[in-house]
Amino acid sequence: MHPDILSAVDDWGPEKVVCVSDRRSGMRGVLVIDNTARGMGKGGTRMSATLSVAEVMRLARTMTWKWAAVDLFHGGAKAGILGDPHGPAKEQQLRAFARALAAEVPAEYVFGLDMGLSERDAAIFVDELDSRGVAVGLPRALGGLPYDELGVTGYGVAEATDAAAACISLPMEGARVAVQGFGAVGRATARRLTELGAVVVAASTSRGAVLDADGLDVHRLDELARELGDDCVAAYGPVRPPDEAITAPADILVPAALQDVVHPAHVDALTARLVVEGANMPTTGPALQQLHERGIAVVPDFIANAGGVVAAALSMDARHSPFPVEPAQVFTMVSAKMRANAVAVLEHAEASGTLPHEAARHLARERVHRAMELRGQVRTKEDDR
């Protein structure tokens, strides 16, 4: 065992790190089960040519906090394969990975989708271990739930936005929204916010931004995005620099693309009263501090974009059922969870005077630690009396 693995173990975990390999296929992979105090370890499975054990350990820890932050009873875990997700040996390596982890799957871990894997790959895991119970993210034909097709994550971002806006007395009817990143998440967010009465005044892709103070035609832009991808903005026109979507006059900003795109210079120009992080880590640390100092409310990424996590939890329950998960059930649960969690974090941040990200992490740690106490995994004050 490489010494850096042991040095990375702390009081939270990981509980288990399983490194596996297969000479015939060239497969090398790792499963990290971080903390199961609140429930079975759950997190996606990725495939990358640059994968490292340290990366998977960090991702597993992130899942520990994410499940706890959204208050769902799973623990943190993650798995990964070192390899080319577009290479000719992919299926052989996936099958070898599944066989190598047969002792852990599905008793301690269930395969899911992350970077480099598709619904088809989830089906390969099911075929290799001959059970629908070993994976989530399956194709619809195998009883799976098409997260991206349904726009579950973006729907959740919009529901969190609506609840957060109510917290700061910002009426959603007529609220001006800027969506930075008009991919799958951004499009679904824009569609739902429009249904809730908001007006989308700016949207962007890597190719540029489109702005309209009277409101963009979200339906038309969505159709263009499905057809043309990032070039949808050019077809919609006129095109402005991408950053203008961030600083466009708006009441709400939803950064829904890449990480570290919102900088302090943007914060200086913001008119928004609310920032809802649809992407993972879209706001730099200094920008978050500056938003706090300006009194601009922020719904953290791992709260706002957890709709897919809620859907995955429902899919976990449905693995052994002959009945598919109903989309209406998913949307109802996502709405309830996203709204409650957004409000809880903003109220906790207000009461404690801390940044919302710190408040969310504090809530998550409290929940995990309490579960560890109740299970006798750590000493309590009562134990010391």
Determine the average pLDDT of the residues in 167-181: 98
Task: Give the model confidence (pLDDT) of 213-230 as tens digits.
Answer: 999 999 999 999 999 999
CATH code of the domain containing 284: 3.40.50.720
Return the SS3 of 268.
helix
Contacts of 32 (CB under 8 A, 6+ apart): 14, 16, 17, 18, 53, 56, 57, 59, 60, 77, 78, 79
Q: In 285-355, which residue ranges form alpha helices assigned H by DSSP?
A: 285-294, 301-304, 307-318, 327-352
Catalytically annotated residues: 78
Return the SS3 of 233.
helix
Distances (CA, A) of 72 to 65, 279, 309, 313, 330: 10, 20, 9, 8, 14
Interatomic CA distance for residues 127 and 56, integer angstroms: 25
Task: Give the model confidence (pLDDT) of 103-146 as tens digits.
Answer: 999 999 999 988 899 899 999 999 999 999 999 989 989 988 88
Interatomic CA distance for residues 111 and 319, integer angstroms: 12
The residue whose two tokens read 């395969």 is: 111
- 301, part of any domain: yes
111 shares its domain with 165: no
198 shares its domain with 301: yes
CATH code of the domain containing 92: 3.40.50.10860
- 366, part of any domain: no
If pLDDT is split at 50, 70 and 90, which confidence band does 325 have?
Answer: confident
For the question of whether the overall pTM of this predicted structure is more than 0.75, the answer is: yes
pLDDT greater than 60 at residue 188: yes
Return the SS3 of 83.
coil
Domain end among 126, 144, 162: 144
184 shares its domain with 92: no
Classify strands 199-205 and 208-211 as parallel, antiparallel or unpaired.
antiparallel
Q: What's the confidence (pLDDT) of residue 384?
A: 59
43 shares its domain with 188: no
pLDDT greater than 60 at residue 2: no
- 364, part of any domain: no
158 shares its domain with 27: no
Task: At 224, give phi and psi (nearest 5°).
Answer: -65, -40
If pLDDT is split at 50, 70 and 90, which confidence band does 149 have?
Answer: confident
Tell which residue, 259, 257, 294, 303, has the closest CA to residue 274.
294
Task: Give the model confidence (pLDDT) of 247-265 as tens digits.
Answer: 999 999 999 998 899 999 9
167 shares its domain with 214: yes
- Beta-bridged to residue 180, according to DSSP, are 204, 255
The residue whose two tokens read 């729907």 is: 155
Tell which residue, 348, 290, 256, has the closest CA to residue 71.
348
b/e per residue 196-205 (b: at least 16 CB within 10 A) = bebbbbbbbb
User: Domain range spanning residue 348?
Assistant: 152-307+340-357
Determine the average pLDDT of the residues in 31-53: 96
- 374, part of any domain: no
If pLDDT is split at 50, 70 and 90, which confidence band does 192 have?
Answer: very high
Tell which residue, 354, 275, 361, 374, has the closest CA to residue 62.
361
